[in-house]
Structure 1
């Protein structure tokens, strides 16, 4: 299966079918949205993806320049070992008048490879101003990419940071917790469930659903926000991501976070912006509550902040634009809660804040059956390219040799021209949607709930299907009078045309 997947990836790259896994990703992604056509159903219990011991010892992620901090804070540079022995660089921000025995918190990034620590500087500064020592570090770029990652390995990185912060002068090692944003909302519970050194957990924009389900929701929500309806958003987008995952190009697609959340025994503060467009803010909180209570942990607090986006930053336009400022009251909430739980005064379990906005619900995303798998899709793609291009190429060769002849039916030319246009055009357009999906998709002009480009592709698909039927009828009538070479050429064309019809139905091109 690995060679098939490698061939698939190479073919997808050749077509330009690659993108950035959403960061919610969390995929979504996703941050921006995820990838291109097709998996590994890794779980938190699976082995961490790591280099060999010798290679790990030799690899050190490049350190960013020391970040500047406001004059009321002080910063100390640290290094520590994460998963696989990789060396990390970070900064510990503390109040200028820091008192001994203070709490500390490690900030875990959202999705993205090699994200610099400065990405979380706003949060680090605000939390430090509320009496904590805050460790931010440069995220790994080794064993982490668009197509490969392990939440288990990222949790090891976070625990390495926890150990480094616990050893800092003035920090009470019994009061060090972790904060996880977006993808970090999957990573932080793994780290907390794995180590009693973690005193508390703060989650922001966390997702209780599998990554692939979250990603398909985020992109579909972006399409709906752009005015799209019908098969493109209800069928095509979902099937595209299933193929992406099946081809191994979407890391940990079916990871179920619930069992790990249930294993978290530390106090939990979970925060969502009411305008989170990357993580379903209505569906995730009940999942966290169910899992925590199922594991016997009733020490949790959920807070929703108005006019806040996925990262709990202030947003002026319903989550599309993220401003540098944190949502009003967010940093105070974190500071007050951390002080309470580390002082032995955990707040009562409860939920507060305005109801979040989620215009559509997520849908389950199952692995594809064999007939809709990535290798089969690749085989269909190769068939279409060969069948639809061979027909005009043979005609061109005949013309050059001076042996051109009248086709059995001119409809065959339509099958060839429209078939290849739909196949290549639909893949190109889906790539474009994947790259711009999430928050607010850029679909181009929309007519009757369909992007005009998609309507054109659907019209061409109808023409190709009708021309295939007409060509098949004409060939049957003239079969006795056609040469062997012409029968082979038409047979190949019809094989592609007939396979194209169910393929176009599956991808929503022949559906309203």
Structure 2
């Protein structure tokens, strides 16, 4: 209660000192700046006629973003007397397979330089704001330059990106009603392969050393119902790592501090008090550290462990190619002894391997939403694959009996495929519960 009274008093004090501009009074000035040979375009949203204003650079979350994605918040901050710079995120050197937090941090610092040079801005009061991925980038930028006066983060992580993503994937699949081997495959096995194969950029970025190096005040904000960032862990890590912090948790908010009922839906409007809190804090950063209690998590995040000697991605790809060749081998030659179990092994093996590839692609593209109804904790395509995998094992046994009787090369190659299939299917969860 006392904290709420103090916060309300601070907001009223700021309002009395700098009456907020109306929506019609907010100005928009187009700006450009460069980093690493790339020209970035942005807009400074500010109250007109200001002097010695604090400045705020808004750093994007992951994915492609334009300045308009943050314009609503920028206008709300401008109406509280803050000159706010929003910009289009770079596309050069940034994609699902390529990104550099270091480069993104330098982009933010170039934007800070633009704000610091404005006549209506106090250069000693320019800071950075970062959402989600920006919660890794904004502190990194601040750690590199004393030109950054403060840091604001939303939904920031205290854990490395691969660990956060594994936790988020499991949340999404659980919300769809999935359990068991399908969830373990997507959130653990597949994630470890993506990281080990080098196609998860910045997978092992550790934010803690950067957080510990910060000397600027940090305002960290989280939604208690965040299903993308482990919020309880993040609050604890920020509390223990950042020297000068103000950490707040909004009980009915999701990752972006939008109103929500369960963390998955997004209701109109932001969490009550969020925009006002940022405005009051930026205008008057407190001199002491305070932190809300970490919100509860239904389970902790888990580190994505390195691949073992038998797991390298190149080996998994080689096994996949071998299985396709081995299962397709038998029909290429004339029919002979042991044809019936061999035909079954060819059919079930090929269907299982090819079907797994299709399901994996759908899973990556839709986070499980494109896999249809869920029965007994399994989406129907996965359940069908598991039944086909059992059929493949049975057909392998039948083919082994036939090969023992006739010892032909044709059956031998097919049987080798069936034998290799068993550990492969166990590894990928097709023979798991």
Q: Provide the residue aligned with 1:383 in structure 2.
A: 322
TM-score (norm 1): 0.78
Instruction: Say if 2:142 is the partner of 1:198.
Output: no
1:417 to 337, 347, 355: 347
Instruction: Say if 2:198 is the partner of 1:269.
Output: no
Q: Provide the residue aligned with 2:361 in structure 1.
A: 431
Q: Secondary structure at the match of 2:422?
A: helix
1:109 to 41, 49, 60: 60
Q: Secondary structure at the match of 2:232?
A: coil
| Contact in 1 for aligned 2:167/2:187 (Cα 8 Å) | no
Q: Provide the residue aligned with 1:94 in structure 2.
A: 46
| Contact in 2 for aligned 1:278/1:310 (Cα 8 Å) | yes
2:264 to 312, 315, 320: 320
**In the TM superposition, what is the alpha-carbon distance from 1:347 to its structure 2 partner?**
4.6
Instruction: Output aligned runs, 1:391-410, within 5 Å.
Output: 391-392=330-331, 394-395=332-333, 398=334, 405-410=335-340
**In the TM superposition, what is the alpha-carbon distance from 1:431 to its structure 2 partner?**
2.0
Unaligned runs of 5+ residues in structure 2 are 1-21
Once the two structures are superposed, what CA deviation does each residue of 1:261-309 show, in whole Å capped at 9, x if it has no partner? 11111000000112211111111111122222xxxx1x10111113211
Once the two structures are superposed, what CA deviation does each residue of 1:4-46 show, in whole Å capped at 9, x if it has no partner? xxxxxxxxxxxxxxxxxxxxxxxxxxxxxxxxxxxxxxxxxxx
2:99 to 149, 159, 169: 149
> Counterparts of 1:226 and 1:488 in 2: how far apart (Å)?
46
Structure 1 residues 348, 441: closer, same or farther in 2, change over 3 A? farther
Q: Secondary structure at the match of 2:231?
A: coil
Instruction: Output aligned runs, 1:11-90, within 5 Å.
Output: 70-82=23-35, 84-90=36-42
Structure 1 residues 222, 86: closer, same or farther in 2, change over 3 A? same
**In the TM superposition, what is the alpha-carbon distance from 1:430 to its structure 2 partner?**
2.2
| Contact in 2 for aligned 1:225/1:441 (Cα 8 Å) | no
Instruction: Output aligned runs, 1:458-477, within 5 Å.
Output: 458-477=386-405
Q: Secondary structure at the match of 1:410?
A: helix
**In the TM superposition, what is the alpha-carbon distance from 1:500 to its structure 2 partner?**
0.7
Q: Determine which structure has the larger helix proportion and give its number.
A: 2
**In the TM superposition, what is the alpha-carbon distance from 1:409 to its structure 2 partner?**
4.2
Greater Cα shift, 269-278 or 195-204: 269-278
Q: Provide the residue aligned with 1:175 in structure 2.
A: 125
Stretches of 4+ aligned residues off by more than 6 angstroms: none
| Contact in 1 for aligned 2:225/2:253 (Cα 8 Å) | yes
Q: Provide the residue aligned with 1:25 in structure 2.
A: none
Q: Secondary structure at the match of 1:370?
A: coil
Q: Provide the residue aligned with 2:421 in structure 1.
A: 500
Structure 1 residues 140, 236: closer, same or farther in 2, change over 3 A? closer
Instruction: Say if 2:399 is the partner of 1:447.
Output: no
**In the TM superposition, what is the alpha-carbon distance from 1:236 to its structure 2 partner?**
4.5
> Counterparts of 1:81 and 1:447 in 2: how far apart (Å)?
53
> Counterparts of 1:86 and 1:312 in 2: how far apart (Å)?
31
2:255 to 310, 318, 338: 310
> Counterparts of 2:268 and 2:424 in 1: how far apart (Å)?
45
| Contact in 2 for aligned 1:221/1:360 (Cα 8 Å) | no
Instruction: Output aligned runs, 1:103-142, within 5 Å.
Output: 103-113=54-64, 115-142=65-92
> Counterparts of 1:154 and 1:369 in 2: how far apart (Å)?
32
Once the two structures are superposed, what CA deviation does each residue of 1:338-376 show, in whole Å capped at 9, x if it has no partner? 1112xxxx25322237x6453332111112123211101
Unaligned runs of 5+ residues in structure 1 are 1-68, 399-404, 480-486
TM-score (norm 2): 0.91
> Counterparts of 2:411 and 2:405 in 1: how far apart (Å)?
13
| Contact in 2 for aligned 1:223/1:443 (Cα 8 Å) | no
